[in-house]
């Protein structure tokens, strides 16, 4: 079963607006990663945030992590049509695990 759940399942915004996606997970983690998937393509790594970090930035991306609430958020500022994709959070799930547990994803549509 999947470790995380993203919220909302789908999000539609106008180009230039900000998009916020949330992820909740169930067990203790070492790190949390966010990935993007364009339709019919593989996943692309966006950002990794460690369990001892609370916030991380990369370009137009801002990720927060609250380990007490077992939740993370991904903010995309000044969205572009090219940001249209599905976004997934992924966690290692438990100590020693060598695989990632993915959430169900948020489908983002940016309208030009």
Partner 1 sequence: GAGVSQSPRYKVAKRGQDVALRCDPISGHVSLFWYQQALGQGPEFLTYFQNEAQLDKSGLPSDRFFAERPEGSVSTLKIQRTQQEDSAVYLCASSLLALAAYNEQFFGPGTRLTVL
Within 35-74, the residues that bind partner 1 by CB under 8 A are: 35, 40-45, 48
Which residue in 107, 106, 108, 110 sits closest to 6, CA to CA?
106
Q: Which listed residue (67, 73, 97, 109) binds partner 1 by CB under 8 A?
A: 97
Pick the binder of partner 1 from 59, 68, 98, 112 (CB under 8 A). 98
Closer CB to partner 1, 50 or 78, in the complex? 50
Tell me whether strands 43-50 and 5-7 are parallel, antiparallel or unpaired.
Answer: unpaired
Which residue, 2 or 15, has its beta carbon nearer to partner 1? Answer: 2
Q: Using alpha carbons only, how large is the chain's radius of gyration in Å?
A: 13
- Residue of 19, 33, 74, 83 that binds partner 1 (CB under 8 A): 33
CA atoms within a 13 Å half-sphere pointing along the CA-CB vector of 17: 13
């Amino acid at each position: 079963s999947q470790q995380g759940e993203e919220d909302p399942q789908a999000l539609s915004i106008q180009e230039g607006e900000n998009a916020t996606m949330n992820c909740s997970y169930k067990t203790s983690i070492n790190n949390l990663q966010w990935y993007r998937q364009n339709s019919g393509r593989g996943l692309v790594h966006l950002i990794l945030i460690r369990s001892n970090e609370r916030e991380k930035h990369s370009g137009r991306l801002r990720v927060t992590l609250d380990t007490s609430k077992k939740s993370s958020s991904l903010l995309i500022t000044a969205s572009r049509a090219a940001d249209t994709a599905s976004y997934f959070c992924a966690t290692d799930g438990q100590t020693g695990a060598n695989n990632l547990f993915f959430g169900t994803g948020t489908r983002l549509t940016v309208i030009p």
